[in-house]
Amino acid sequence: MRHMSTTKRSTVQLPLSGVRLAPRRTNPEDMTARARIRDAALFCFARDGFRTPLRAIAEEAGVSVPLITHHYGTKAALQQTCDDRVLERFLDMKIMAIREPDSVKSMLDDTSIPSILMVYMVRSFLDATVSVQAFFDRFVDQLRTTMQAAGAAGMIRPADDEEERLHLLAVQAIGALMVEFVINPPADPRSFIDQVYSGRNLAAQFDLYSHPLFNPSPAMDTYIASIKNRA
């Protein structure tokens, strides 16, 4: 990764009741205490940052701190599990949107879960956690899988330099989220997408990525030649 806080704790306590981070296919593991702890930790880290103590996570999950240490050992191990979950769910949702475009409507009808995942990701970079380098690398890997699926579906064109495009898209995506979060931090992480991405904003993004920004011109030819000479 090319080199790319003190978190402000919300004064509103937001219970996790009704928020499930399970995949679309029900997995028996997601009904266990271990899964409840993971989901509660993910929510607490998104809401309050990674300095959240285990006792707050235990309260959110409705379990004891010793039960958390029994299942995960350390807070760092619990965070690693949350990292895995965020990346897994993001990939699942993106691949679903590519294979079943109609699924996007239902995703937009209830954005609470993807909002939590996005805020968790932003916190990972703002708090500069020890796992942030690995997290970014894995995000790029999953973006590669998504782009390959989109390419196979005929949705995107090949790039002259695919790896550099992946890096640029990853930095732009995370950077945009960080700016929006810092400018207008959500009181409830579940509201982040609705707060930031209006229909107008999303339409502008699709317009930006589906149509060339620059028209062919002598000036553009000069810019491109200069860039290639620099490379």
pLDDT above 90 as % of the chain: 67
> So what's the pLDDT on residue 20?
40
pLDDT at position 25, please? 42
How many residues belong to the chain? Answer: 231
- Over residues 52-61, the mean pLDDT reads 96
Q: Between 75-99 and 33-48, two packed helices, what is the crossing angle to 10 degrees?
A: 90
Spatial distance between the Cα atoms of 43 and 79, rounded to a whole number of angstroms: 11
pLDDT of residue 1: 39
User: Comparing C-alpha atoms, which of 11, 7, 79, 83 is closest to residue 49?
Assistant: 7
**CA atoms of 105 and 26, how far apart (whole Å):** 21
CA distances (Å), origin 163, targets 4, 79, 206, 218, 230:
17, 28, 22, 28, 18
The answer on pLDDT for 19 being more than 50 is: no
pLDDT at 213 over 60: yes
Q: Are 98 and 107 in contact (CB under 8 A)?
A: no
Most confident of 74-78, 196-200, 209-213: 74-78
**pLDDT value at position 14?**
34
- Give the residue, 4 or 225, on which the prediction is more confident: 225
Stretch 94-118: mean pLDDT = 91
Q: What is the pLDDT of residue 7?
A: 35
**Helix (H/G/I), strand (E/B), else coil: 226:** helix
pLDDT over threshold 60, residue 178: yes
User: pTM of this prediction?
Assistant: 0.80
Is the per-residue pLDDT at 187 higher than 70? yes
Q: Span 51-75, mean pLDDT?
A: 96
What is the topology classification, in CATH, of domain 83-230? Tetracycline Repressor; domain 2 (1.10.357)
| Angle of CA points 4, 8, 13, to nearest 5° | 130
Q: Any idea which of 11-15, 46-50, 171-175 has the lowest mean pLDDT? A: 11-15
CB within 8 A of 114, min separation 6: which ones?
89, 90, 93, 107, 193
pLDDT tens for residues 111-127?
Answer: 999 999 999 999 999 98
Split at pLDDT 50, 70, 90, the class of 132 is confident
Q: Could you tell me the residue ranges of all domains in the chain?
A: 83-230
